[in-house]
Chain A
Amino acid sequence: MSLASERGAMPADSEVMLELQDVSHHYSSRRDSFDHGVHHILDRVSLQLRRGETLAIVGRNGAGKTTMLRLMAGIFRPVSGRVLRRPGSSCALLSLGLGFQDSLSGRDNALLSAMLQGASKREAQAFLAEIQAFSELGDSFDEPVKTYSSGMRARLSFTTALMTRVDILLIDEVLSVGDAAFREKALQAMQARISGDQTVVFVSHAEAQVKKLCDRAIWIEGGQLRAEGTPKAVFEQYRPGPPAGKTA
């Protein structure tokens, strides 16, 4: 979906696709949860993403990785600071879990996802055969998604996002499930996209995948950038700690 940049223009450097300037974010959840109900997610974080770059975000569960992707995608607005996207660029967040309407078939969900990401109905319908073939769902493609196993959901989710062309792809842990054969196929398809012009932000716990796919990595912890550099250098500093009791 095309999202115009908000509050201010992009810097003169035309190769910058996305920029976070001094972004802080927190939100209050239900009362009496913890920390007086306020979750501190990001504290004055700045970073730039250039065209064709593949950036990895690492951090423990609950560190704010998914929220950071949602801020980048324009789903959330930061409490302070600015998120700038290159005007006219499209941006999609690819994640597992919800996002499907359970009573609809895989085909109808794929159609809807593609249309919500900006494709016209005709374009979306043209993707469907490709999505059915790549996802290897066969006849299940026309069954309601509620009958799917989690692996089948992952395949449908990944394939739908892969087939719809967007300028900035934000990937949240999506390459970590499914059977080994499909995971390998998905990884290869992802690599083919990344080696081209595709700009990608990639959240993953899989060190090998990050090192294989990404040019650069950042480690966020306690709302701040703790390290930034090559995936190898960042993973040397980052040692996953105990989970914080919630997923990012």
Chain B
Amino acid sequence: MSLRHYLTLVDTMARLSLKADASRYFFGYIWWILEPLLYVLVFYVVFELILQNRREDFLVFLMCGKLTFIWFSKSVTQASRSIVNGKGLIGKISVPKSLFPIAVIQEGLYKQAAVFALLFAVVLGSGYAVSDSWAWLLPIVMVNYLMIVAGSLIAAYLVCLVFDFHVLVSMGMVFLLFVSGIFWDPRDLPDPAMTETVLALNPLAFIVDAYRQVLMAGVSPELGHLLWIGAASIAVILFMLGLMRRSSEYLALKVVTS
């Protein structure tokens, strides 16, 4: 399969799935924005109204974290089951197995474009101005995307080998939600060494923080660390694509006989 055909297929599968999804719901495409907003609302009620968070700009702070985290968590969770869900097609045609997670990620990417537009509108509407540092958004989004692809390929491969892994994937997302500074700020931790540890060891916490630094503080992220995360993600992606290619028939057997 040529790369061009592969990419056309990814795009077609993503679009068809979005269309089918939209036709199933009464609110259709509105859910792209509505669902993440409802998540933000839930967290806002808990942390701002009930727990009385003292941050002035908590809503913007929360949206920067939650809206980017959902992109990661939903993509990886859905991609993790995509090969297994492709059972029908996999039993009939010899296709690259990576097609399934990549198509799911593409679907998420189209939805996320609308979510980002909403996020930027809220940031600007809340009195923040566009600064030079906004140029950093492009590399940050790209590295974020690479992390999603790397995480999805690993999760999809493992769920294919042992279906039980999907439980761990869901649980892992809850863990990441708590440790990545989505509703709390790693920079507010009493121990500065702990702040450094969180941002250095958890790439997701680093990326979420980078969005906030750019959008809210007008500060550019640490380039070296961003590049390092991007390079590590690319290495994982290449390794996983190679692994899926080599074990394509084995994965088919696993999926068909599961």
Interface residues, chain A, with chain B CB atoms under 8 Å away: 1, 3, 27, 29, 70, 73-77, 92-95, 97-101, 103-105, 108, 111-112, 115-118, 120-121, 144
Contact = CB atoms under 8 A, between A and B. Distances in A.
Nearest to A29: B257
Given A98-B87, A115-B9, A75 B93 contact: yes
A27 B257 contact: yes
B95 A116 contact: yes
A120 B88 contact: no
Given A1-B95, A112-B13, A99 B89 contact: yes
A219 to B, nearest CB: 24
B24 to A, nearest CB: 6
Contacts, number: 84
A76 B249 contact: yes
B12 A75 contact: no
Given A27-B253, A97-B88, A121-B12, A116 B93 contact: yes
Given A1-B1, A93-B92, A108-B20, A76 B13 contact: no
B13 to A, nearest CB: 7
Nearest to A78: B249
A120 B1 CA distance: 11
30 contacts: A1-B1, A29-B257, A70-B256, A74-B94, A74-B249, A75-B93, A75-B94, A75-B249, A76-B249, A76-B252, A76-B253, A77-B249, A93-B93, A95-B92, A97-B88, A98-B89, A99-B88, A99-B92, A103-B17, A104-B20, A105-B20, A111-B16, A112-B13, A112-B16, A115-B8, A115-B9, A116-B9, A120-B5, A121-B12, A144-B23
Interface in B46-96: 87-95
B21 interface: yes
Given A112-B13, A121-B12, A73 B93 contact: yes
Contacts of A3: 94
Contacts of A29: 257
Contact of B20 (A92, A118, A144): A144
Interface in B1-57: 1, 5, 8-9, 12-13, 16-17, 19-21, 23-24
A1 B94 contact: yes
B239 interface: no
B178 interface: no
